[in-house]
Amino acid sequence: MSEASDRAIDAFLALVAEKGFAGVSLRDVAQSAGLGMGELHRLHPDKASLVTALMARVDSKVLAGTARDPDPEETARDRLFDVMMRRYDALRPHREALHEIGQATLRDPLLALAVGPALRRSMAAMLEAAALPSDGLAGMLRQNGLLAIHYAVSRVFDQDETGDLSKTMAALDSRLKTAERWSQLFERYRVSPRRRATESPGA
């Protein structure tokens, strides 16, 4: 990501926190970032592009802090908890702007459609950082599950004023434990019919 793009994203976030999403124009962003309109348009032709670029920047920051080899002593839930908390730590300085952006997506279905694929890519990246496959049917189910967890935990994160984000940590831990139980139940259900078929009399 270029230095000019970073300046545009930072200017956008500061303006959204101050004026709300709808109150910010691309001209405002260009002026605040010290960019010409043509330069900004080449980098980010609309506000949805700025939002998706922010997500990509956060993804890069989280992935950069991920160990090359996963700790064999950690469970999948432990790894995913660590990854998602590092994501919330990276988002924390921009929480007010992110809240405004989230509200804007609820009011504007076209904006939600524009940024939705980027959010799904972010969840896929978080799964991969936790050494959990994100492709195929199983990967799609994991992405959907992590999206649901993220939406639920974000409501706590928005209001979490604790110094260590302890409320966010508790909410994330609770949701991941629930997801783990459902995953284990699904695995038992998926394996049992196969076992019954192979263990029939005379086999």
Q: Coil, strand or helix: which one is 21?
A: coil
Q: How confident is the model at residue 203 (pLDDT cuts 50, 70, 90)?
A: very low
Per residue in 144-201, pLDDT (tens digit) is 999 999 999 999 999 999 999 999 999 999 999 998 887 666 566 554 555 545 555 5
What is the mean predicted confidence (pLDDT) over 70-87? 91
Specify if 31 maps to a domain: yes
5 and 94 part of one domain: no
pLDDT at 190 (0 to 100):
54
Same domain, 10 and 41: yes
Helical spans, DSSP H, in the chain? 3-19, 26-33, 37-43, 47-64, 76-91, 95-107, 109-129, 136-159, 166-198
| Same-domain pairing of 140 and 77 | yes
The DSSP 8-state label assigned to residue 75 in this structure reads -
% of residues, the chain, pLDDT over 90: 78
pLDDT digits (tens, 9 = 90+) for 3-43: 999 999 999 999 999 999 999 999 999 999 999 999 999 99
> Does residue 176 fall inside a structural domain?
yes
Read off the tokens for 25: 């124009």
- More confident: 185 or 103: 103
What pLDDT is stored for residue 61 in this prediction? 93
Examine the domain organization and report whether 54 and 121 are in the same domain: yes
Do residues 110 and 84 both lie within one domain? yes
Q: Do 5 and 71 belong to one domain?
A: no
| Same domain? 32 vs 89 | no
Element holding 201 (H helix, E strand): none
Listed residue (133, 141, 127) closest to 63, CA to CA: 127
| Rounded distance between C-alpha atoms, residue 31 and residue 25, angstroms | 10
Average pLDDT over residues 61-87: 90
* Domain assignment of residue 30, given as a range: 1-45
The total number of structural domains that make up the chain: 2
Both 184 and 141 in one domain: the answer is yes
CA distance 193 to 28: 61
Query: Are 86 and 183 members of one domain?
Result: yes
Q: Is 133 exposed, middle or buried (0-12, 13-18, 19+ CB in 10 A)?
A: exposed
What is the structure's pLDDT at 129? 94
User: Is 203 inside a domain boundary?
Assistant: no
Please, what is the Cα angle at 174 between 169 and 175, to 5 degrees? 100
pTM given for the model: 0.84
